[in-house]
């Protein structure tokens, strides 16, 4: 977060049904039925226009333009080192772009003053690529940390909120465990609980499933879907995990390291049939198995076996 100035407001209360669910057993069998929060999917939460990002005079990506709508699970994807994390840092307000703008709703983020930017950032949460929790603190203390920094809640209220967020992340009963006492998947969930501490409208996740086995990764995907359904959270996720992309992404952008431009933007399933999808993006979306020409041939001939040789 760009500023460490504490603000005095409390986190907004959770919708009644969600709070009930969080207080009940992890699978929610005793809770009230959850009232799903239906975000207005027409509403643009983040609008990125002609963005150029890089370091010093070095340009990593240029002409990056896309919208993230309310309730989207939006993936930023592309090969290793192409600039995904850098773009995410620009969206989160941690790094200025070289040119172009990022609108939060209608507000130009980088054109705003520091106080305005701080207010906008306050509506977001983040799980960094390293995802580190403080090893000397319990899970409840880790999750309570942002509440201590950014609200005037007393210790008891902070503990209650931390319990609630841990329960939402499927970690009810683990409040007093230390990170070393739980699995990698549970650590990611605890990191998500901490990112949820201030009830953000937008959650930024950088490689959330890195280092997780496929089953834990799938459980994390399920949790993201649950949180979107129950809290109405919008997600911006950096990842190149194709299984997750096809399972939960509503939209994605593919960053092409060669051209340093966006190679594809849209729903991943639709991009497979879109002639506008760049060859590099098509290769990525098919794990290097199909280019456009092959896709068209395959569809015409009805042969579903991809020609792996052409991708090499």
Ligand X SMILES: Nc1ncnc2c1ncn2[C@@H]1O[C@H](COP(=O)(O)OP(=O)(O)OP(=O)(O)O)[C@@H](O)[C@H]1O
For binding to ligand X (CB under 6 A), which residues are involved?
55, 60, 80-86
Interface with Mg ion by CB under 5 A: which range of 28-36, 83-91, 111-119, 271-279?
83-91
Which span (44-52, 81-89, 107-115, 139-147) binds Mg ion, by CB under 5 A? 81-89
User: What's the rounded Cα separation, in Å, for the pair 229 and 200?
Assistant: 14
Cβ nearer to Mg ion, comparing 85 with 101:
85
Could you tell me the smallest distance in angstroms from the CB atom of residue 87 to ligand X? 7
- R_g of the chain computed on alpha carbons: 20
Those residues whose C-beta lies under 8 Å from the C-beta of residue 165, and which sit 6 or more positions away, are: 22, 143, 193, 194, 196, 197
Judge residue 277's burial from the number of C-beta atoms within 10 Å of its C-beta, 0-12 exposed, 13-18 middle, 19 or more buried.
buried
In the shown chain, the binding pattern of residues 241 to 270 toward Mg ion, with x for contact by CB under 5 A and - for none, equals: ------------------------------
**E-assigned strand segments in 91-190:** 99-104, 107-108, 124-127
Shortest spacing between CB 82 and ligand X, in angstroms: 5
- State which residue, 86 or 244, has the beta carbon closest to ligand X: 86
Residue 80 contact, options ligand X, Mg ion, none, Cβ 5-8 Å cut-off depending on partner type: ligand X
| 128 part of the interface to Mg ion, by CB under 5 A | no
| HSE-CB for 233 with a 13 A CA cutoff | 30
Binding mask 178-197 for Mg ion (x = CB under 5 A): --------------------
CB of 74 to ligand X, least distance (A): 16
For 191, the token pair is 């990191």
Q: Whole-number minimum distance, CB 142 to ligand X, in Å?
A: 23
Least separation, in Å, of the C-beta of 265 and ligand X? 17
Residue 238 Cβ vs Mg ion, minimum distance, rounded to whole Å: 6
Hey, is 71 helix, strand or coil?
coil
Q: Closer to ligand X at the Cβ: 82 or 190? A: 82
Residue 120 CA from chain centroid, whole number: 17
Find the shortest distance in angstroms from Cβ 80 to ligand X.
4
User: How crowded is residue 133: how many other Cβ atoms within 10 Å of its Cβ?
Assistant: 22
**Lateral strand order in the sheet of 107-108:** 58-69, 44-55, 99-104, 107-108
The only residue of 85, 101, 119, 261 in contact with Mg ion, by rule CB under 5 A: 85
Q: Between residues 85 and 149, which has the closer beta carbon with respect to Mg ion?
A: 85
Nearest to 98 by CA among 137, 51, 135, 141: 51
- Parallel/antiparallel/unpaired status of strands 73-78 and 234-238: parallel
Which residues of the shown chain bind Mg ion in the complex (CB under 5 A)? 85
């Amino acid at each position: 977060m760009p500023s460490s100035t504490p603000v005095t407001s409390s986190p907004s209360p959770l919708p009644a049904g969600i709070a009930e669910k969080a207080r009940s057993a992890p699978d929610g069998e005793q809770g009230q039925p959850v009232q799903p929060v239906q975000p207005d999917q027409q509403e643009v939460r983040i609008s990125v226009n002609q963005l150029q990002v890089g370091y010093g005079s070095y340009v990593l990506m240029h002409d990056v333009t896309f919208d993230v709508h309310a309730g989207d699970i939006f993936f930023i994807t592309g090969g290793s080192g192409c600039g995904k994390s850098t773009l995410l840092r620009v969206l989160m307000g941690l790094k200025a772009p070289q040119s172009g703008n990022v609108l939060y709703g209608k507000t130009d983020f980088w054109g705003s003053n520091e106080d305005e930017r701080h207010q906008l950032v306050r509506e977001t949460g983040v799980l960094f690529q390293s995802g580190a929790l403080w090893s000397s603190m319990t899970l409840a203390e880790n999750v309570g940390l942002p509440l201590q920094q950014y609200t005037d809640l007393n210790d008891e209220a902070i503990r209650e909120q931390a319990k609630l967020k841990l329960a939402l992340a499927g970690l009810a009963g683990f409040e007093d465990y230390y990170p070393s006492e739980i699995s990698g998947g549970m650590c990611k969930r605890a990191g998500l609980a901490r990112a949820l501490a201030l009830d953000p409208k937008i959650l930024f996740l950088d490689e959330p499933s890195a280092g997780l086995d496929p089953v834990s990764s799938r459980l994390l995907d399920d949790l993201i879907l649950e949180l979107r359904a129950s809290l109405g959270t919008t997600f911006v996720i950096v990842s190149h995990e194709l299984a997750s992309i096809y399972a939960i992404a509503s939209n994605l952008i593919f960053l092409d390291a060669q051209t340093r431009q966006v190679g594809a933007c849209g729903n991943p399933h639709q991009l497979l049939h879109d002639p506008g999808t760049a060859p590099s993006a098509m290769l990525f979306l098919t794990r290097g198995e199909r280019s456009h020409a092959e896709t068209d041939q395959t569809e015409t001939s009805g042969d579903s076996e991809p020609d792996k040789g052409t991708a090499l």
